[in-house]
Amino acid sequence: MRTLQAYRFALDLSPGQERAVLAHAGAARVAFNWALARVKAVMDQRAAERTYGISDDQLTESISWTLPGLRKAWNAAKGHVAPWWAECSKEAFNTGLDALARALKNWSESRSGKRTGRSVGFPRFKSRRRSTPSVRFTTGTIRVEPGRKHVVLPRLGRLKLHESSRKLARRLEAGTARIMSATLRRDGRRWHVAFTVQVERADRAPARPGSVVGVDVGITHLAVLSTGEVIPNPRHLSMTQNRLRRLGRALSRKTGPDRRSGQRPSQRWQRAAARLGRAHACVSNLRRDGLHKLTTRLAAMHGTVVVEDLNVAGMLANRRLARHIADAGFAEFRRQLEYRTAWNGGQLVIADRWYPSSKTCSGCGAVKAKLALAERSYTCQACGFILDRDANAARNLAALAAEYDTAGSGSVAARGADQKTRPRGRVAVKREPGTAPAGQTGTVPPQGGTTNHVHAKAH
């Protein structure tokens, strides 16, 4: 199976190398801001001319929003806009122009309705202090040194890695991988290089192809599996909150930058900001590491994984739980499951957003109209079944996979659910002990296919 995969390594840069990388990232930001200002000026000019009654064919000529069009305009103006342009690689300017072309395309498609999801706003100018420095190389000399401790990038030369690149080097030496691009980015005061690689992955099969596991994510527990396993929530942000507050107060006492007066930050402020940034980066790395380990284990063990389509953006509107929801990383958990199940030959089934997994009895199938968040145990009024609400939801998700038709259209009949759950009873999905759920003998979705979305079935 051929797929795109990223390999990310930390760098140990010398002061001179760090200045050179920052210069390239700054060049990308300059090209982005210049092109955005040019696009906005032309748009404003054409809008003003329309108010004067000028016909469309006589308006100021518009500038192309595509990457080739922006690159052509930049090459014509870079001599007086950036006289130092020869000191940086052309890939640095291409990075900023490509980012703007993508942003303008997303904004245009969002306005016209071609892009689904939340609306995308018009691109904004990148700040020198607030934006994350990054630069992407797609052409030129991009390679990993035979010693596996250095990489070579255009104009930057030989850069030392903080860790060994043996995982990527082995694939390159075997001829099963090809580097497509390399991106330098600063996260938490440390530079990383991420290689986008086209990889030939061997076909795999889960350890238990017929196994189905329902996963109910939450705050009290990070994940509760239908097998009965409970994954504790490490709460990395909450555990580090006191230290972050202390570092934030120390930063506020230093002389920071002021754009209105032109005041530059003091060296003590810069050191305090670096300490705070490293603390936040540590929390992010710990969260990412835990999610990678959990999703890898689930995808390698079970043939079918069932999760819910959570409205994370809506959940974050709850000011009492927003921090804890963001700390759990629900969206990142689902994103990793999507590609890992495909890599391991399994499938990911996503339940409908309004499927009442917590309100449904996993024993008899009765559905409660209301279930308060404070009720941590599910008690069925129909059959007297009592179980932890998260474990009950995980069992319902696992049972939902039995209704998933892999040989048919890829989904089951819609329940027609709205935001209000009505009490009802249904026949529970029953299986013989030791038998696989229905639909597990179908074929694996082809590489590059979309995730299958299913809905709850009405009974």
Report the alpha-carbon distance of residue 344 to residue 206 in Å, rounded.
Answer: 6
In the predicted model, what is the mean pLDDT of residues 308-324? Answer: 89
Residue 130's pLDDT is 85
- pLDDT at residue 423 is higher than 70: no
Report the alpha-carbon distance of residue 351 to residue 454 in Å, rounded.
Answer: 5
Between 71-80, 365-374, 386-395, the lowest mean confidence (pLDDT) is in 365-374
Residue 374's pLDDT is 82
Q: What is the DSSP letter of 458?
A: P
Burial 412-445 (b: 16+ CB within 10 A, else e): beeeebeeebeeeeeebbeeeeeebbbbbeeebb
Choosing from 308, 327, 352, 403, which is the catalytic residue?
Answer: 308
Q: Tens digit of pLDDT for each residue in 329-342?
A: 999 999 999 999 99
- pLDDT at residue 247 is higher than 90: yes
- pLDDT at residue 412 is higher than 80: no
Quote the mean pLDDT of the chain.
Answer: 86
Distances (CA, A) of 46 to 54, 91, 110, 366: 9, 31, 21, 62
Does the annotation mark 98 as catalytic?
no
Does the annotation mark 403 as catalytic?
no
In the predicted model, what is the mean pLDDT of residues 2-18? Answer: 94
Q: Which residues pair with 290 in a beta bridge?
A: none
- pLDDT at residue 436 is higher than 80: no
Residue 419's pLDDT band (cuts 50, 70, 90): low
Q: Tens digit of pLDDT for each residue in 190-234?
A: 999 999 999 998 888 999 998 999 999 999 899 999 998 999 999
Q: Give, rounded to a whole angstrom, the gap between the first and last alpha carbons of the chain.
A: 40
User: Which of 254-263, 294-303, 443-452 has the largest mean confidence?
Assistant: 294-303
The residue with greater pLDDT, 181 or 357, is 181
Residue 10's pLDDT band (cuts 50, 70, 90): very high
Residue 404's pLDDT is 66
Q: How many CB atoms lie within 10 A of CB 204?
A: 13
Report the alpha-carbon distance of residue 382 to residue 33 in Å, rounded.
Answer: 64
In the predicted model, what is the mean pLDDT of residues 47-57? Answer: 87
Range 263-272, long-range pairs (CB < 8 A, 24+ positions): 272/247
Choosing from 187, 216, 352, 403, which is the catalytic residue?
Answer: 216
Residue 420's pLDDT is 59
Does the annotation mark 49 as catalytic?
no
Residue 356 contacts residue 456 (beta carbons within 8 Å): yes
The residue with greater pLDDT, 53 or 137, is 137
Residue 348's pLDDT is 93
Q: Tens digit of pLDDT for each residue in 263-314?
A: 999 999 999 999 999 999 999 999 999 999 999 999 999 999 999 988 888 8
